[in-house]
């Protein structure tokens, strides 16, 4: 390696622009020529179905929480296009590294609604995905999963695999060191990673404007030495398009990218939150006019590939799928007590056997040997 040829005190003229991609306007009309994959409107129907599934599952999960049958839950209401668009751009053998609001992408990747309910219902088996075995479980400590995506992508690079690691985090995550440290190392090592910011404007009660003085979140990529772009996060076509471009770049060996998907958190932060304390109803209502599900439905309807009958059939099918998942979740008994020990290490150290025994028999002591 060599030091910079340029002396650091020399005046540097650095200019940048942050592009924005959007195809469908809020009313579902086409504002820009559509990308290749979206030209056949009927090809978008699976994306629509996935967004509807996410929304119905979210609604059901919140209802379960309100009736004491699920733990705290983070609804993705209004951000379904971010998850579906990102996941639809991925290959099955790519790896998804989510925060805690990416149900849409997880479902597309093959995580089952029952697994999602199990996790939020307090059962670790919800993160033992039967589908995408290498995808990471949700990450609750904000931004701390971004470095994992860099590490996974480094593994791909070292093994010469044409795979990509894709991480999603919220707008608040861009204020954290882990975010900067991860995009920095990913870029300097040129690993095949894509970092997506689900900019839903609110980090619990703190609005986007109070997170950073930067004009955009995407421009933070420029300092790391990677491309950053903005995309209409309520337009699933735009999200998929931008993610596909970033993934193609990563797969070709040209390094990581950052995508800022601009959307809006229509629900409370979680079921433990009451957003009325800190934001105006009028703001939320205004954003309902831009939400992604109705937008795509209007487009599909305008293109005559979607009818009232199709909609009713989809809703019935999704309701059945979610109801079955709820039933399966509620019918799943808790794991035996000793399982809290059984996955701690590959082989449990002998000293913990006594604690395991004590937990199983509800002995009062800790049972140290």
Partner 1 sequence: MTEISLVEAVTLALSRAMEDDERVLLLGEDIGLDGGVFRATAGLVERFGTDRVRDTPLSEAIIAGVSVGLAAQGFRPVGEIQFMGFIYPVIDQLVNHASRLRTRTRGRISCPLVIRAPFGGGIHAPEHHSESMEAMFAHVPGLRVVIPSSPHRAYGLLLAAIRNPDPVVFLEPKRIYRALKEDVPDNGEALPLDRCVVLREGSDVTIVTWGAMTVEALAAADELAGEGVSTEVIDVSTLKPLDAKTILESVHKTGRCVIVHEAPFTAGFGAEIAARLAEKGLMDLLAPVRRVAGYDVVMPLPRLENSYMPSAERIATAVRESAAYA
Answer for which of 48, 96, 108, 136 binds partner 1 (CB under 8 A) is 136
Residue among 63, 90, 86, 61 nearest 76 (CA): 61
Catalytic residue at 73?
no
Choices 147-155, 209-217, 265-273, 311-319 (CB under 8 A): range interacting with partner 1: 147-155
Dist. CA 102–CA 82, nearest whole Å = 8
Compare residues 114 and 295 and give the one whose CB is closer to partner 1. 114
Is the CA virtual torsion 296, 302, 304, 308 positive or negative?
positive
Q: Which of 265, 295, 297, 356 is catalytic?
A: 265
If one asks whether residue 147 binds partner 1 (CB under 8 A), the answer comes out as yes
Dist. CA 123–CA 115, nearest whole Å = 9
196, 183 in Cβ contact below 8 A? no
If one asks whether residue 32 binds partner 1 (CB under 8 A), the answer comes out as no
Q: Which two tokens stand for residue 47?
A: 């994306």
If one asks whether residue 350 binds partner 1 (CB under 8 A), the answer comes out as yes
What is the rounded (10 degree) CA torsion for 34, 35, 37, 41?
A: 0
102, 90 in Cβ contact below 8 A? no
Compare residues 91 and 276 and give the one whose CB is closer to partner 1. 91
Chain residues 299-328 in contact with partner 1, contact rule CB under 8 A: none
Catalytic residue at 20?
no
Catalytic residue at 343?
no
Dist. CA 226–CA 165, nearest whole Å = 15
If one asks whether residue 158 binds partner 1 (CB under 8 A), the answer comes out as yes
Q: Which two tokens stand for residue 327?
A: 């039933």
Dist. CA 324–CA 169, nearest whole Å = 30
If one asks whether residue 178 binds partner 1 (CB under 8 A), the answer comes out as yes
Compare residues 18 and 348 and give the one whose CB is closer to partner 1. 348
If one asks whether residue 128 binds partner 1 (CB under 8 A), the answer comes out as yes
- Residues serving a catalytic function are 265, 269, 278
Binding stretches for partner 1 (CB under 8 A): 124-125, 127-129, 133-134, 136-137, 141, 144-156, 158, 165, 177-178, 181-182, 184-185, 188, 339-340, 343-347, 349-352, 368-369
């Amino acid at each position: 390696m060599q030091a910079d040829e340029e002396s650091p005190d020399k005046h540097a003229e650095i200019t940048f622009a942050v592009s924005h991609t959007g195809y469908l306007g809020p009313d579902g009309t086409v504002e820009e020529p559509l990308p290749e994959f979206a030209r056949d409107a009927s090809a978008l129907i699976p994306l629509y179905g996935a967004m509807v599934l996410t929304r119905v599952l979210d609604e059901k999960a919140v209802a379960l929480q309100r009736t004491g049958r699920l733990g705290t839950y983070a609804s993705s209401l209004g951000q379904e296009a971010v998850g579906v668009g990102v996941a639809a751009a991925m290959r099955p053998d790519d790896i998804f590294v989510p925060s805690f609001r990416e149900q849409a992408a997880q479902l597309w990747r093959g995580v089952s609604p029952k697994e999602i309910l199990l996790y939020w219902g307090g059962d670790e088996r919800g993160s033992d995905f039967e589908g995408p075995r290498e995808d990471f479980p949700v990450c609750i400590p904000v931004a701390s999963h971004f470095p994992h995506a860099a590490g996974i992508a480094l593994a791909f690079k070292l093994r010469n695999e044409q795979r990509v690691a894709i991480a999603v985090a919220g707008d608040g995550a861009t204020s954290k060191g882990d975010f900067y440290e991860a995009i920095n190392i990913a870029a300097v090592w040129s690993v095949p990673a894509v970092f997506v910011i689900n900019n839903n404007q609110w980090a619990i009660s703190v609005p986007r404007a109070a997170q950073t003085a930067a004009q955009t979140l995407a421009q933070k990529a420029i300092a790391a030495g990677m491309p950053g772009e903005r995309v209409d996060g309520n337009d699933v076509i735009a999200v998929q398009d931008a993610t596909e471009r970033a993934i193609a770049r990563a797969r070709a060996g040209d390094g990581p990218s950052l995508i800022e998907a601009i959307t809006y958190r229509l629900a409370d932060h979680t079921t433990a939150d009451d957003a009325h304390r800190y934001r105006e109803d009028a703001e939320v209502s205004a954003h309902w006019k831009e939400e992604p599900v109705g937008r795509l439905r209007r487009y599909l309807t305008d293109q005559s590939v979607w009818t009232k009958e199709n909609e009713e059939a989809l809703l019935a099918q999704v309701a059945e799928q979610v109801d079955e998942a709820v039933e399966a979740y509620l019918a799943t008994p808790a794991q035996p007590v000793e399982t809290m020990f059984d996955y701690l290490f590959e082989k449990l150290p002998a000293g913990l056997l006594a604690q395991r025994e004590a937990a199983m028999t509800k002995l009062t002591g800790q049972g140290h040997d």
